[in-house]
Amino acid sequence: MKTFLEANRKRKILAVDDEIINLEIIKEILSRSYEVDFAFNGKEALEILSNPESDYSLVMLDLMMPVMDGFEVIRRMKADERLRRFPIIVMTSDKNAEVKSLRMGAADFITKPYDIPEVVQARCQVLIELNEDRSIIRSTERDPLTGLYSKEYFFVYIRRFLPKLADSMDALVLNIDRFSLVNELFGREEGDRILKKAAELIASTILQSHGIACRTDGDIFYVYCERRDDYEACVQKIQNALNQDGPARTLRLRGGVYEPVPGDELPEAWFDRAKAACDNIRDRFNHFVGRYSRELYERVIYEETLIADIDEAVEQRQLTVYYQPKYDIRGDKPVLTSAEALVRWIHPELGFISPGDFIPIFESKGLIRKIDRFVWREAAAQIRRIKDTFHVDLPISVNVSRINIYDPELEDVFLGIIREFDLKPHELILEITESAYSNDENRLAEVVADLRNKGFFISMDDFGAGYSSLGMLTSMPIDILKLDMSFIRNMQVDEKSLMLVELVLDIARFLGVPVVAEGVEEERQYLLLKEMGCQIIQGYYFSPPLPAEKFDRLIQGSTESEDGTES
């Protein structure tokens, strides 16, 4: 099999000597395998090599020449970032000169006269191949944008440091928040400039003595650095410097630190833990650095367990859908009018897991679709069962997580569920959390309009929780406004909350949409809302969320009561 060197075009060699006979001998020896060019002194050689288009694989250099000798050529080549890439074989008969030239940076030497051509050929071939292999390695060793190590070589070098430095080094992860927006708003060139500047600042601020760094996953940096008590000042200093110039001046840099312990010799795991500490302060804007702790470790293990078990939970029906009734309170007597589907997880080992615990985990990991689709189908099946059993139409609302808004299959999924259970679209009410309205209003408006055109009712969930926009209410098509429970809890003790509830009810009347008040737990809350003209109430005052069997009994009691029979 031909080597890579043999299979490609001839490599070029520059032979530098002031004696033409020596150059001719070199050409005779090497011309079958290489293209050989000549230079007659050191100055001429440097001029040739300095040409940006020079693609020589080897320089064969005599030492004793007029104008500029070989020692000066070696010195200048090794001082130049571009020229140092050319390997040098010194041609000399002076043993002392051999030693000096090797110490200056020459790669090899050939003794004059050239008695054995095969030796010359072999040395040239070996050195060219070694240099090309080294160049390939060097090109993969560094991130071409920042000049930091690539992720693969970063961990290779850490393992080399382990025996000497493990007890005095930390794993540090740095992340530029929402960096993708920089590229979108200001262009990739500005994004690249920020990344390069961040790398320079990391090197000058954190890697002052021992340590190395790499860039990974776009805007995330791994740093293996000498341990210090306080990283906050360093990270804040880098952030401030990043925000000094350029159009993007509101960048936030956050970090996570893991301190390796004796016997803990898996560097990849160190940085996973440091990243977990970094992610843990994502929403804590007064912190620059988080430290990995036992508590965080247990939390990470807990989250990973839930993520690993979700498929089995769906298949084995560990997930259960509960239904919380909603009552129309406009008449003399509250009437059961609909319900909300709420998921519960009974884990075989961990027991009951609060939705407030596992829902945010799956939303942040982009895995909430699995849970949502399970709930949607269960709710549709429940609507069908109620129609067949009790001969009543009782809509059920289901939550549509933010991540589903960007799912191109969303409309087809809902239409497929409606067809599967032979329902009308308005019987499955879609609750879109208010925070989704703040992410991409244009995309959301398009999705909502398409779903409403197919007959689905849209409810804005948690209205008033912190993302509200009156302008958004007028531009976004909705059918139901659901008031956040925080207002209900506070309206008896906080006049502002009470006034805001009245304001929302006035806005809803102006828009011609009903309001659902969730979280109603006391009679006084119920009476206040009824007095203010709220149409629908949901909360423990009437009923907690119920499993399907108990919800069926509730419906049965309601239908018997409406018929005038004993309930």
pLDDT greater at residue 16 or residue 135:
16
Can you name the residues that pair with 482 across neighbouring β-strands? 516
DSSP secondary-structure letter at 530?
Answer: H
Residue 137 has pLDDT above 80, yes or no: no
- 432 within 8 A of 458, measured Cβ to Cβ: yes
If you average pLDDT over every residue of the chain, what do you get? 86
Listed residue (261, 255, 23, 34) closest to 129, CA to CA: 34
Q: What's the CA gap between 372 and 364, in Å, rounded?
A: 14
Residue 366 has pLDDT above 60, yes or no: yes
Domain with CATH 3.20.20.450 in the chain: 316-552
DSSP secondary-structure letter at 149?
Answer: B
Residue 268 has pLDDT above 80, yes or no: yes
Residue 115 has pLDDT above 50, yes or no: yes
The per-residue pLDDT for 557 is 84
| pLDDT band of 2, cuts 50, 70, 90 | very low
The per-residue pLDDT for 553 is 93
The per-residue pLDDT for 101 is 87
The mean pLDDT of 68-87, rounded to a whole number, is 90
Q: What is the pLDDT of residues 522-538, one digit of tens each?
A: 999 999 999 999 999 99
Considering only 131-140, 317-326, 368-377, 446-455, which range has the smallest mean pLDDT?
A: 131-140
Considering only 264-273, 400-409, 434-443, which range has the smallest mean pLDDT?
A: 434-443
Of 79-93, 132-146, 195-209, 318-332, give the range with the top mean pLDDT: 318-332
Domain with CATH 3.30.70.270 in the chain: 151-292
| Residue 468, CA distances (Å) to 340, 439, 449, 462, 463 in order | 22, 12, 19, 10, 7
Domain 151-292 matching CATH 3.40.50.10610: the answer reads no
The per-residue pLDDT for 437 is 58
The mean pLDDT of 162-170, rounded to a whole number, is 71
Residue 516 has pLDDT above 90, yes or no: yes
| pLDDT band of 6, cuts 50, 70, 90 | very low
Residue 546 has pLDDT above 80, yes or no: yes
The per-residue pLDDT for 100 is 87
Residue 9 has pLDDT above 80, yes or no: no
Residue 163 has pLDDT above 70, yes or no: no
User: Model-level pTM?
Assistant: 0.61
Superfamily of structural domain 4-140: Response regulator (3.40.50.2300)
Question: Quick one: three-class SS letters along 155-218?
Answer: HHHHHHHHHHHHHHEEEEEEEECCCHHHHHHHCHHHHHHHHHHHHHHHHHHCCCCCEEEEEECC
| pLDDT band of 84, cuts 50, 70, 90 | confident
The per-residue pLDDT for 218 is 81
The per-residue pLDDT for 567 is 39
Express as a percent the part of the chain with pLDDT over 70.
91
Listed residue (197, 212, 206) closest to 232, CA to CA: 206
Residue-level length of the chain:
567
The mean pLDDT of 440-447, rounded to a whole number, is 78
Considering only 18-32, 193-207, 334-348, 430-444, which range has the smallest mean pLDDT?
A: 430-444
Residue 563 has pLDDT above 50, yes or no: yes
Q: What is the pLDDT of residues 303-360, one digit of tens each?
A: 889 999 999 998 899 999 999 999 999 998 999 999 999 999 999 998 999 888 888 8
- 541 within 8 A of 523, measured Cβ to Cβ: yes
The CA radius of gyration of the chain, in Å to the nearest whole number, is: 36
Domain 316-552 matching CATH 3.20.20.450: the answer reads yes
- 539 within 8 A of 488, measured Cβ to Cβ: yes
Q: What is the pLDDT of residues 204-227, one digit of tens each?
A: 888 776 788 999 878 899 999 888
pLDDT greater at residue 132 or residue 322:
322
Express as a percent the part of the chain with pLDDT over 90.
42
The mean pLDDT of 376-392, rounded to a whole number, is 95
Domain with CATH 3.40.50.2300 in the chain: 4-140
The per-residue pLDDT for 477 is 78
| pLDDT band of 5, cuts 50, 70, 90 | very low
Find the helix or strand (DSSP H, E) in which 220 lies: strand 220-226
pLDDT greater at residue 219 or residue 402:
219
- 62 within 8 A of 70, measured Cβ to Cβ: yes
